[in-house]
Each structure stands twice: as C-alpha cells, then as structure tokens.
C-alpha cells in the first residue's frame, strides 16, 4: 500500500464530502421514486439485473455481490427475500455440492422490465437533466480514475 505524507487539501476534503452527500441523496431520490410506484428497493433491481446478465449459468452468491452496483452487506437476506418472492431460484452448484448458484426466474425478469421505466425516469430527473452531455462525459472520465 502506498503511504502518503501529504494531507488532502481543503478543496479535496470538501469535494469528497460533496461526492458522498450527492451520491447518497441521489440514491434516496431514486429509492423514493421506486417506492412511490409500488416497487421494491433498488438493491432488488441491481441483483436481478446482474442475474439476468449472467444468463442460464447464473451466479454464485459471492459473484453476485462482486457484480452489484450497490454495496450489499446483507446479501443472504436479500437473496432470501428474492427467493421467497419467486424472483430467484437457488440451484445446487454442480462443482461444489455445498455451494449454490442463483438464477433469475421469469417473474424476476418481469419485475426488472416493470421497474426499469421508473428507474430510467428517476435517473433522468435526478441526474441526467441536471448536467449536459459534455459534463456527463467529463464526469464519467473523472470518476473512471477511481475504478479498480
């Protein structure tokens, strides 16, 4: 791990705080829009989207957690809820009898399809409508510096 001897500037600390506040605020607004439309929380959408992307091979729970956009500390509880609601199937892992593979069900695909318009509109209203296309590209470049 790299050891830094300099302290962050006041501007850097302020930008960090703003990034966290804005991120949390945007997520809260999206969650409110989903709830207002009678849908479950965004983490359900996130998990189901990754399982849909995985196709018929599905994902092991740890793989799902790695793929999710949102941090999911209670993944086993989330998977339990999705399973009980009929949106996910738990299958035994052929390579590891103790493990399991998660696959999205047709009902889960349907929920994703119904949630997307509300989620899409929330992204537009709370984020995209406030920045230009040029600003969006620049923001993506800046945030890309923090990946990996």
Q: What is the CATH number of the domain that holds 121?
A: 1.10.10.10
Residue 51's closest CA among 19, 87, 23, 27?
87
The whole-number average pLDDT for the span 41-48 is 96
Mean pLDDT for the chain overall: 93
Is residue 77 included in any domain, yes or no? yes
pLDDT band at 42 (very low <50, low <70, confident <90, very high): very high
Is residue 16 included in any domain, yes or no? no
Whether pLDDT at 1 is above 60? no
Is residue 103 included in any domain, yes or no? yes
Number of structural domains in the chain: 1
Domain that holds residue 79: 40-144
The whole-number average pLDDT for the span 65-86 is 89
pLDDT score of 95: 77
Is residue 113 included in any domain, yes or no? yes
Is residue 35 included in any domain, yes or no? no
Query: What are the C-alpha distances in Å from 92 to residues 20, 22, 96?
Result: 39, 41, 8
pLDDT band at 94 (very low <50, low <70, confident <90, very high): confident
Is residue 107 included in any domain, yes or no? yes
pLDDT per residue over 100-146, tens digit each?
Answer: 999 999 999 999 999 999 999 999 999 999 999 999 999 999 999 98
Is residue 9 included in any domain, yes or no? no
The whole-number average pLDDT for the span 22-47 is 97
26/83 Cα distance (integer angstroms): 28
Residue-by-residue DSSP string for 67-132: H-SS--TTHHHHHHHHHHTTSEEEEE-SS-TT-EEEEE-HHHHHHHHHHHHHHHHHHHHHTGGGS-
Whether pLDDT at 96 is above 80? no
Is residue 110 included in any domain, yes or no? yes
């Amino acid at each position: 791990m790299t050891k830094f001897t300099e302290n962050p500037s006041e501007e850097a600390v302020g930008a960090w705080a703003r990034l966290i506040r804005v991120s949390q605020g945007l997520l809260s607004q999206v969650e409110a829009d989903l709830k207002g439309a009678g849908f479950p929380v965004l983490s359900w959408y996130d998990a189901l989207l990754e399982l849909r992307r995985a196709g018929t091979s599905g994902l092991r729970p740890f793989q799902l957690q790695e793929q999710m956009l949102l941090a999911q500390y209670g993944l086993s509880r989330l998977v339990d809820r999705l399973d009980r609601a009929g949106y996910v199937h738990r299958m035994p892992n052929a390579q590891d009898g103790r493990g399991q593979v998660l696959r999205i069900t047709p009902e889960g695909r349907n929920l994703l399809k119904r949630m997307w318009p509300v989620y899409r509109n929330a992204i537009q209203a709370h984020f995209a409508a406030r920045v230009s296309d040029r600003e969006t590209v620049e923001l993506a470049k800046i945030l890309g510096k923090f990946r990996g």
